[in-house]
Chains A and B, each alone.
Chain A
């Protein structure tokens, strides 16, 4: 499981960074989204990977972290998802405004020479 998760985070982040460095605004927003997914998975992994752990307090289970999933990364991820979603929406608006002003989708508002 660790290998799968690590590969997923790596691939998402690598794709995100690559797209982020592209000159088209659409590529940039896709890159930002992929980077966000990679980061969210990474935060999850920092709460340690565990199978079959209780998510909420259950009767008869000792109340320590060895028997439960860590709730903290989940709270962090939830916040990060919400904020990331809002920022993506805002970025889309700015992207469309930029396209309206310049008539193209280059991040600098000018077409490439080639």
Chain B
């Protein structure tokens, strides 16, 4: 596998962007009613995307910790052209995103992809935006990929239509447009001060920024940070999240669980790259904000879980808890903590994505019952009209092919749903034996020894806030989820057993399986996370690798390269 990755290497970096883009174009050309063939093409592309991500991961993990793949798509000289960079962190997030995307798509082909004309192209564009945001090495393309990702997410959020989706979609759209404006203001300020948009170049220039300009630079990063924090759902910028994610269709919500991680990724990348110890007077800028903002987010998410009994909204709060944990831990900026966070990030993302998918199945199985006991904010979440029609004449309408695709209803559906719910509860609450427990355990062991400070200073008390909150948030999640579980699974109701399709249950089972594998094979994953964190906190390797990249000689640029800079390496 590594040999294959090595052989494909320079061009493998751009594959995660090109593949979904081309697939989306292809899907647009196909008739929107041919759901089956579109679903197959989409699934094949998502599977290929997973393979590419796995190859990139094996490439990034194989070399010494400072393996950076630098790709110059436009073949320009280094600080000017656009650049893609693949390192361990990008590869890890690419793989996480690819797994979630494949599972969400698998879930969607059972039913949801028929609820609108362009589900599949939008989904591929969403994957492209995510991949691009993880791979890009400059601020300008980060903005572009952010917008690609958001544009697709607007479409996916509205997928299926219906009043609650349109209302929350409007809020989501407005908030993200404002966040994009902030992104532009921040990027422009940074460009105005440093004169470059290349992330490695910015990082190299930060120590030399004049004292008079430093405040402006910090303002730029702060404005930029607000845009990412809104995306990463930091309290108090996260009020849009729960209604929007709960209103979205299940596969869309599952992939939205990744969008918050993009915010976290960018914040991690920026804080380690730009504000490392080499950054002179800017070192450590903003980390206190991350720490306390993340702590507040964690508290808000944990207590928010008590406020609802609807699984979809609970999953939304689980996203906030996961984001809060990650942000707070990244704010402490210690390699061993970041390693734990990098282990926690994929497992919590997979767990929350599985929970979003499961929430839909649970709500559907109890829809007659839930309608009576719904909170005011949960109104209007009946099936939107295209789906309602599909549901009614399902037996009449489907041909044999469709039947094969959908699979058969499995018996003992309630038992399987309950089992999946227990697994998701363990993952979301971070309880043993599943992987997010290991992630939290690593975080807590790294947090607590530093705290064994003897005296009761105010400061040493403050350092206890985070570990205690992490434990308490697990407890809150457990209580809230148990309550919902009892209500959904143990309440006797006279009704038929829920109809559960294999193809809808398989993705949930696979997501949980990945988490189980992550806990069984925790050591190699943890080793990878540790190496990633080590490389992140020594940004010189990243900066050197990017800035020393040379364009390929071509007939048109050979002369210029020969004239201007050092000789181009073939």
Spell out A's residues near B (CB within 8 Å): 20, 25, 28, 32, 35-36, 39-40, 42-43, 45-48, 72-73, 75-76, 79-80, 83-84, 86-87, 90-91, 94-95, 97-98, 101-102, 107-109
Contacts and interface: CB of A to CB of B under 8 A. Distances in A.
Contact of A107 (B140, B147, B151, B170): B170
Interface string B166-183: 110111011001101100
B469 interface: no
B185 A42 contact: yes
A46 to B, nearest CB: 4
Interface in B144-172: 144, 147, 151, 154, 158, 161, 163, 166-167, 169-171
A87 B177 contact: yes
Interface range, B side: 20 to 34
Given A20-B178, A46-B189, A101-B163, A39 B184 contact: yes
B191 A72 contact: yes
Which of A28, A32, A97, A107 lies at the interface centre, i.e. has the most chain B CB atoms within 10 A of its CB?
A97
B188 interface: yes
B167 A109 contact: yes
A84 B263 CA distance: 21
A10 to B, nearest CB: 13
Given A43-B188, A90-B173, 6 more contacts: A32-B177, A35-B181, A83-B147, A98-B170, A101-B167, A102-B163
Contacts of A76: 140, 143, 184, 187-188, 191
Interface of B: 140, 143-144, 147, 151, 154, 158, 161, 163, 166-167, 169-171, 173-174, 177-178, 180-181, 184-185, 187-189, 191-192, 197
Contacts, number: 86
A82 B144 CA distance: 11
Which of B171, B187, B191 lies at the interface centre, i.e. has the most chain A CB atoms within 10 A of its CB?
B191
A36 B179 CA distance: 11
B188 A73 contact: yes
B154 A90 contact: yes
B167 A108 contact: yes
B178 A32 contact: yes
15 contacts: A72-B197, A75-B140, A76-B143, A76-B187, A80-B184, A83-B180, A87-B173, A90-B154, A91-B174, A91-B177, A94-B169, A98-B166, A98-B167, A98-B170, A102-B163
Nearest to B154: A90
B173 A91 contact: yes
B192 A46 contact: yes
